[in-house]
Amino acid sequence: MDVAPITVCTAHIPPRHELLTRAVNSVAAQTLLPENHLISVDYARRGGPATLDAALEGAMTEWVAILDDDDEFLPHHLETLYSVALETDADLVFSHFRYTSTGDGGHLERFRGVPFDNANPRPTTNVFLVKTDLALEVGGFSEGFDTLSYEVDSIGNRIGYDFNFIQKLAALNSNIVHTPEVTWIYHVENGSTLGMPNRW
C-alpha cells in the first residue's frame, strides 16, 4: 500500500469516543495511506480550533489532512485530494461531501464544482488537505478567531474557524483548489458542537 507525506489531524472531545473509532477506521481504510494520524483530545475545553492546532503543531509531513472526530473519509479521500494537489500545484484542496441527513451537501451544495475565488472567498468545511508550512504560517485555526463567537452569514449559518482559516489563505493568494468529487461523509445525527467548548 502506498503512503503519502500526509498527517491526518483530528480534534477530539471525550464524549465522542465511539464516534472517533469510526473516524480512525476510515483513515486506516484509505487507498493512499497517510504517514500518521494525530489525535488531540480537548480535556480542558479549549475548543476545536486550539485542539486542532495542537495536532497540527505535531505534524512532520509536507501535508496535513483534517478530519473531525464524528465524520469519516470515504476510502479514496486522501488519494483524490493528494492527486489533485500534485496535478494543480495547490496549497489547499477541498472536495465535496454528503450529509447523512439529506444525502447532499446541504447549504454548500450550490458551490459544488464552482472554482474557488480568492477575491471572493466562500465557506467550505475544515475537511481539506493543506500544506503544513502554510497552515502554520497563518497561525493555524485559532489565530484570529473567537471560539465562542456565533457570527452568522446572510442565510444564518455560523461563520466558523474553517472559514476564518480559508480567508487567511485567500488573503495570501494561495492556490486553493476545489474538486467536486464526494470523498467524505458529514455525520449530523449526533449534533454539532461547531468546535465550541460550551456545546458539550
Instruction: Give the domain ranges of the chain.
Output: 3-186
H helix or E strand, kind and range, residue 107: none
pLDDT for 63 equals 98
DSSP labels, 11-54: EE-GGGHHHHHHHHHHHHT-SSEEEEEEEEE-TT---HHHHHHH
Separation between Cα atoms, residue 65 and residue 6, nearest integer Å: 7
Residues 3-186: name the CATH superfamily.
Answer: Spore Coat Polysaccharide Biosynthesis Protein SpsA; Chain A (3.90.550.10)
pLDDT digits 0-9 by tens, 65-124: 999 999 999 999 999 999 999 999 999 999 999 998 787 787 888 889 999 999 999 989
Q: How confident is the model at residue 155 (pLDDT cuts 50, 70, 90)?
A: low
Asked if residue 196 lies in contact with residue 47, where contact means CB atoms within 8 angstroms, the answer is yes
Q: How confident is the model at residue 150 (pLDDT cuts 50, 70, 90)?
A: confident
The H-assigned helical ranges of the chain are 17-28, 48-56, 77-88, 132-137, 161-171
Q: What grid cell was written down for 86?
A: 500534485
Q: State if pTM tops 0.85.
A: yes
